[in-house]
């Protein structure tokens, strides 16, 4: 296998990992949003907390998707987590465009973007934290 073939195979693996992580992140976010909607409709939570539920769903989804991406793409954990968060945001944006009437990027979309990216970045930092440590050399007296 040539070097360019190995690089293209690596790029395909990285892309597939980011897409799988983004799909898992979307699934987790939708599940959290469903649970939040049930809690609001049953009167357990007030309707004022829906933006917080959305932000929490994006962060938790981005984190779970980022963890999956980091497990599959161990060489670059932080970019992998960020990629999974970005894919999750794009999928949430696509679902919103399909279900909504108009295209508007407001404060809610910014909250979703920041939540997805922060969740993915947290997963990348937590997965890749122990690889860069060096052992200290014994001091000479």
What's the pLDDT tens digit per position in 41-54? 999 999 999 999 99
Q: Is 2 among the domain residues?
A: no
Q: What is the rounded distance in angstroms from the CA atom of residue 141 to the CA atom of residue 136?
A: 15
Between residues 45 and 130, which one has the greater pLDDT? Answer: 45
What's the pLDDT tens digit per position in 47-77? 999 999 999 999 999 999 999 998 888 777 8
Q: Is 133 among the domain residues?
A: no
Q: Is 114 among the domain residues?
A: yes
Domain count, the chain: 1
Q: Is 5 among the domain residues?
A: no
pLDDT at 84: 92
Q: Is 95 among the domain residues?
A: yes
**pLDDT surpasses 90 at 134:** no
As a whole-number percent, the residues of the chain with pLDDT over 90 amount to 52
Nearest to 22 by CA among 84, 90, 67: 84
Q: Is 88 among the domain residues?
A: yes
Q: Is 42 among the domain residues?
A: yes
79 in Cβ contact with 139 (< 8 Å): no
Q: Is 7 among the domain residues?
A: no
The string of DSSP letters for 43-79 reads TSS-GGGHHHHHHHHHHHHHHHHHHHHHHH--S-HHH
85 in Cβ contact with 65 (< 8 Å): yes
Averaged pLDDT of the chain = 85
Domain that holds residue 37: 12-126
């Amino acid at each position: 296998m040539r070097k360019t073939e190995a690089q293209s195979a690596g790029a395909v693996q990285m892309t597939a990992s980011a897409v799988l992580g983004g799909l898992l992140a979307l699934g987790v976010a939708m599940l959290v949003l469903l649970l939040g909607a049930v809690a609001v409709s049953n009167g357990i939570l007030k309707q004022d907390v829906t933006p917080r539920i959305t932000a929490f769903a994006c962060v938790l989804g981005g984190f779970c998707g980022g963890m999956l991406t980091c497990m599959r793409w161990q060489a670059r954990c932080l970019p992998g987590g960020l990629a999974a968060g970005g894919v999750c945001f794009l999928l949430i944006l696509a679902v919103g465009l399909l279900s909504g009437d108009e295209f508007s990027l407001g404060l809610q979309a910014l909250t979703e973007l920041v939540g997805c990216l922060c969740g993915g970045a947290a997963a990348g930092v937590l997965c890749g934290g122990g690889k860069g440590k060096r052992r200290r050399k014994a001091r000479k007296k």
